[in-house]
Chain A
């Protein structure tokens, strides 16, 4: 554990920038919206910025990514194929714990199974992760319900906590420790850690009522969904409200579904693109012959919640696939972000009032 003066915190980012492309929370001046973006200069980073509107997923899994380009002139001409991805060392500076948890979910999906995704691996490799403890939660946050915050517990190289005049720095890896030593940072005392713990405990009390009331309910709903006790009518009620925009998947730190399309770039050349996809789309599960096992919107909608609260993330890795960032709630035109769906399943809501 180390300490650094609050005003000096960006020195760490500066030091990282010699070896890594640095990404961090940046506030867009016109609108006040936070993005997690690659910075040209570390002074753009604002560690007290609100939770970024979009998770850092796009860094390892871009919205539309050319993964291959190929050329084939026909006949006996050889096919020229060029994979199109490279490894660039990246430092994510000031990641929120929910987003780190999301990254870990993506890792399990893309790297932790039988087939390793080379594109993801190349984007994810050589990454230095600096997390930032949320001493104040944001309006939509409920990470306390999903075991993913407000402070990161593992998976970081460095974790920062704003404890007043200083940042407490915890090293989570040899790499992280080495950097702190190199920068000759002051050692922290037990009281600094105690202060961090106090602030985290306080932060937990500041969450919106949904989070504090429903803390147990997310796990109860996981149980209900997994054991088939969520009522069909509730899914229909939820499905009716789905606008099929795909936003929930796009802003979800742990959603990993993608579509692969080939698009002609010339008469004989083609780009293969990988783009984000969403289970809320009808075309997502439509099969070539026209059969669609999830045609009704309510079936597609419950797919998302099965995925977050039951399928592999939960059954295999024993944690929800949801990381409690609340972004799906913010972007959803149908008002069926995770918190509301948990509420509907819990209350068995199936209809609205008539005049």
Chain B
């Protein structure tokens, strides 16, 4: 019997699987039937993860670029080069770009390496904006910097709101849980500008004008207030700041809501009523590189607070991470201003604790996010250490040219290597023990299933070697000891250990502390005797309007055939074929338009059109689909290079990711 339990490491759902490893080959993978979240299911990616793990397209040796060519180097040589280069620079010129794919132990040690050894606070995750926004709202509102609900309680929710997320494609098993809840009688409401699969599976789909999501949520909140659907007992006993939020809604008129969202007030009223009448409810939205902005999340949070759907069983405001350990990345303090467990660098007691434990004096001036620095102050960074980067810093390619030294640490080969001056290999995740924290704060242990190939070092050991070379004394025997240090320094992980994780099938959800030694399934206001604070909102609802010159509103999003640049998918067979099918039909990307739009423009499928915006233009093929409304158009993210080029000089638009709504006109070529 060689079936070994493990955790799928593609998206943030954290599905359980079994793997059969024979010698060096991963023979096959199978879903884990009794796993609390995935319950025997996997998606197309998860079912084929063995193909990725068996790929030969890995980095096998340290490489140093000499005269524009990579030459094989020894670990000693490469680590010496890295350390000497970094040590010669002022800390403000050094940046670390952590990976949301790394284990918690690796992220923690990288954070320690950056702050304690190289004295820089410029450390961030490659998909920073979206999830940080979620954590900010949730942390300020509840004190818990993570999903307030739990994925294994989706089946207990009577009402499910999916806000602007193509969830069945991005986190299929979360989408499945939502669908199964509806099959059992729960109501799903989806708000989106494009008819996604979850929209088709919903009881009600509000197909809003692109860019009007925040207003739509505010519209529901207004109907809750107007129709007296507030959970007043809950608001009175367990919340703070309702009046201010309520007052902000009064300025909003029904006419404005309807005009800007394209949805009648009656529909919002129905949703408001269903939400408040349900005993339990959950909200879902994507976080990560193309997540919602903080203000929109604040409205969702407040809507659920005023209807009493936070901090109880079957309830929750749930950001869904697109990459497996994005939540863990923040938990481990891979952010310019955070230590592990969302402890702030401005928190003197916390800093003191770290100083004592690490025997250092931490620099307490927050750093900046690497992507922000590259975009806004190119040239400031002289050296950059990048881990497993598959988000493609395409938009920053020019800024990367200005960085004198880039070290890339990764398992798989990808195009980012071209930017690097040196490359260090890291072992695959099945070649070392490690923990991952999925989107519902679930920390799961993934055990080692085989030896690393070609004597490649696992991440934690590599970072320790770098630290030692730089003069620090690190003496971890293995990842378990790193977790011990994490638990000593991180209140939310205080009672976590490998021993506990190994004996708990399906992981442990943080906070796992003295009070909750077995972890915490959900935020429980009653049990904690705590209260929640309404989030501050802007009250501003600028929705880009189509006009005479630019009659269509363009939205940018993820296509089903695209998954995080497809760097990992390209190393498989079946998912590669699936993810390539659309790329083969539309190698230069496409713009999806409604049948009526196509008729008006007199264009047919796969014809080329010019998409002209106030910021620039791009040539794309037409894809006709009833999933977009007339006057709307959709470009999938995989045409990112093309989009980026069209938006050159307007990083503020590009930065909005899926929220970006751009008025355009479409010209027949």
Contact = CB atoms under 8 A, between A and B. Distances in A.
Contacts of A261: 573
Nearest to B46: A245
A240 B200 contact: yes
A75 interface: no
A247 B47 contact: yes
B41 interface: yes
Contact of A37 (B1, B179, B187): B1
The residue in B179, B180, B505, B585 that gathers the most chain A C-beta atoms within 10 A of its C-beta is B179
A10 interface: no
Contacts of B3: 28, 33, 35, 37
Contact of A259 (B47, B175, B574): B574
Contacts of B32: 31, 33
B44 A246 contact: yes
Interface in B160-216: 168, 172-173, 175-176, 179-180, 182-183, 187, 189, 197, 200-201, 203-204
A64 B54 contact: yes
Given A39-B1, A333-B179, A286 B43 contact: no
B366 to A, nearest CB: 41
13 contacts: A28-B1, A33-B33, A37-B2, A44-B1, A240-B197, A243-B197, A247-B31, A247-B41, A281-B578, A283-B577, A333-B179, A335-B176, A355-B203
A33 B34 contact: yes
Contact of B27 (A62, A331, A334): A62
B584 interface: yes
A334 to B, nearest CB: 6
Top-5 shortest CB links A-B: A333-B176, A283-B577, A63-B28, A355-B204, A240-B200
Interface string A248-274: 001000000001010111000000010
A281 B41 contact: no
A199 interface: no
Nearest to A58: B28
A350 to B, nearest CB: 12
Interface of B: 1-3, 5, 16, 18, 27-35, 40-44, 46-47, 50-51, 54, 56, 168, 172-173, 175-176, 179-180, 182-183, 187, 189, 197, 200-201, 203-204, 270-271, 274, 505, 560, 573-574, 577-578, 580-581, 584-585
A53 B40 contact: yes
Contacts of B173: 333
Interface in A29-62: 30-33, 35, 37, 39-40, 44, 53-54, 58, 62
Given A37-B1, A281-B44, A330-B33, A355 B573 contact: no
A31 B34 contact: yes
Contacts of A63: 27-29, 50
B5 A246 contact: no
B581 A243 contact: no
Interface of A: 26, 28, 30-33, 35, 37, 39-40, 44, 53-54, 58, 62-64, 240-241, 243-247, 250, 259, 261, 263-265, 273, 275, 277, 281-283, 286, 290, 292, 330-335, 352-355
A58 B50 CA distance: 15
A55 to B, nearest CB: 11
B201 A240 contact: yes
A64 B584 contact: no
B204 A334 contact: no
Contacts of A64: 27-28, 50-51, 54
A176 B312 CA distance: 60
A290 B33 CA distance: 37
B183 A335 contact: yes
Contacts of B580: 283
A26 B1 contact: yes
A353 B40 CA distance: 28
A260 B5 CA distance: 28
B530 to A, nearest CB: 32
Given A31-B34, A53-B40, A241 B179 contact: yes
A241 B28 contact: no
Contacts of A58: 28
B201 to A, nearest CB: 6
Contact of B176 (A282, A286, A334): A334
B47 A243 contact: no
A245 B47 contact: yes
B34 A245 contact: no
Contact of B172 (A33, A333, A335): A333
Contacts of A331: 31, 40-42
B500 to A, nearest CB: 14
Nearest to B270: A355
B585 A332 contact: no
A30 B200 CA distance: 38
B573 A263 contact: yes
Contact of B574 (A32, A241, A277): A277
Contacts of B560: 244
B487 to A, nearest CB: 22
Given A53-B33, A63-B50, A283 B41 contact: no
B436 to A, nearest CB: 17
Nearest to A332: B41
A170 B573 CA distance: 44
Given A64-B54, A241-B201, 4 more contacts: A37-B2, A240-B200, A243-B168, A354-B203
Nearest to A264: B56
A35 B1 contact: yes
Given A245-B42, A333-B175, A281 B201 contact: no
Contact of A282 (B1, B41, B46, B581): B581
Given A33-B34, A37-B1, A263-B56, A335 B577 contact: no
A33 B189 contact: no
A128 B584 CA distance: 46
B268 to A, nearest CB: 11
A51 B187 CA distance: 34
B577 A281 contact: yes
A263 B183 CA distance: 42
A259 B575 CA distance: 12
Among A244, A286, A353, A355, the one with the most B-chain Cβ atoms within 10 Å of its Cβ is A355
B536 to A, nearest CB: 30
B175 to A, nearest CB: 7
Q: In the complex, which of the residues B42, B505, B573 has the most CB atoms of chain A within 10 Å of its own CB atom?
A: B573
A133 B40 CA distance: 25
A247 B187 CA distance: 26
A282 B29 CA distance: 22
A331 B47 CA distance: 11
Nearest to B274: A355
Contacts of A332: 41
A31 B3 CA distance: 11
Contacts of B200: 240
A250 B573 CA distance: 15
B573 A259 contact: yes
Nearest to A330: B40
